[in-house]
Amino acid sequence: MEAIPKKGTPERQRLIDEHKACIDSMKGVAGFSVLKCGEPGDTTVVTGGVHADPVLKRILLRMRGESPKGKLVVICTKIEKEWRIGRLSGIRGVPPEFIDDKIYDDEQEIQHAIFLIRLDELPETYGFPEDFNEGWKRKDDNWPVT
């Protein structure tokens, strides 16, 4: 299993550049995918991104598999106009909290911002087999006390 690249390494910068190129090429496309369009906004020809970069794909899968506690999410504050980054509490019924005051006017750009934050926050060995547990429905999974 590959480690998450350390800060300042060429591999980390390559992943960031590839992710940003995919984000830029998907502008104008509904939803979010880390793919590179042949022409910006035109998904009839898709190249690059998670299809062509197995390292980027594996790191994104590990990021997406994070525990709900502390996970970063996109929160739409004005429909189709404004988005902010929030952090989940990991406790059912407790709403996410905004991480800062920054407002994004592009649904794709906020995804790249979350990618960068996750790269900085996750330890190099995040998602390795030794960190595996039997699942999130354990006795200590932060269900509210009744």
60-79: per-residue pLDDT in tens? 888 887 778 889 999 999 99
Whether residue 27 lies inside any domain: the answer is: yes
In the chain, DSSP assigns E strands to 36-39, 42-47, 72-78, 82-87, 97-98
120's CB contacts (< 8 A; 6+ apart) are: 7
Least confident of 21-25, 63-67, 112-116: 63-67
Whether residue 115 lies inside any domain: the answer is: yes
Structure tokens at 115: 């990618």
Q: Report the number of distinct structural domains present in the chain.
A: 1
Beta-bridge partner residues of 73:
86
Length of the chain equals: 146
Residue 137: what pLDDT? 57
91's CB contacts (< 8 A; 6+ apart) are: 69, 142, 143, 144
Whether residue 143 lies inside any domain: the answer is: no
Pairwise CA distance, residues 4 & 124, whole Å:
5
Whether residue 142 lies inside any domain: the answer is: no
Whether residue 132 lies inside any domain: the answer is: no
Count of CB atoms situated within 10 Å of the CB of 134: 6
How many Å separate Cα 103 from the centre of its chain?
A: 17
Residue 144: what pLDDT? 58
Residue 10: what pLDDT? 94
Pairwise CA distance, residues 85 & 108, whole Å:
12
Whether residue 139 lies inside any domain: the answer is: no
In the predicted model, is pLDDT for residue 42 greater than 90? no
Range of the domain at 100: 10-123
In the predicted model, is pLDDT for residue 142 greater than 80? no
Whether residue 136 lies inside any domain: the answer is: no
Residue 46: what pLDDT? 86
Residue 86: what pLDDT? 96
Alpha-carbon distance values, 54 to 48, 58, 60 (Å): 10, 6, 10
Residue 136: what pLDDT? 54
Give the pTM: 0.83
Whether residue 37 lies inside any domain: the answer is: yes
Mean pLDDT taken over the chain: 85
Structure tokens at 55: 């390292």
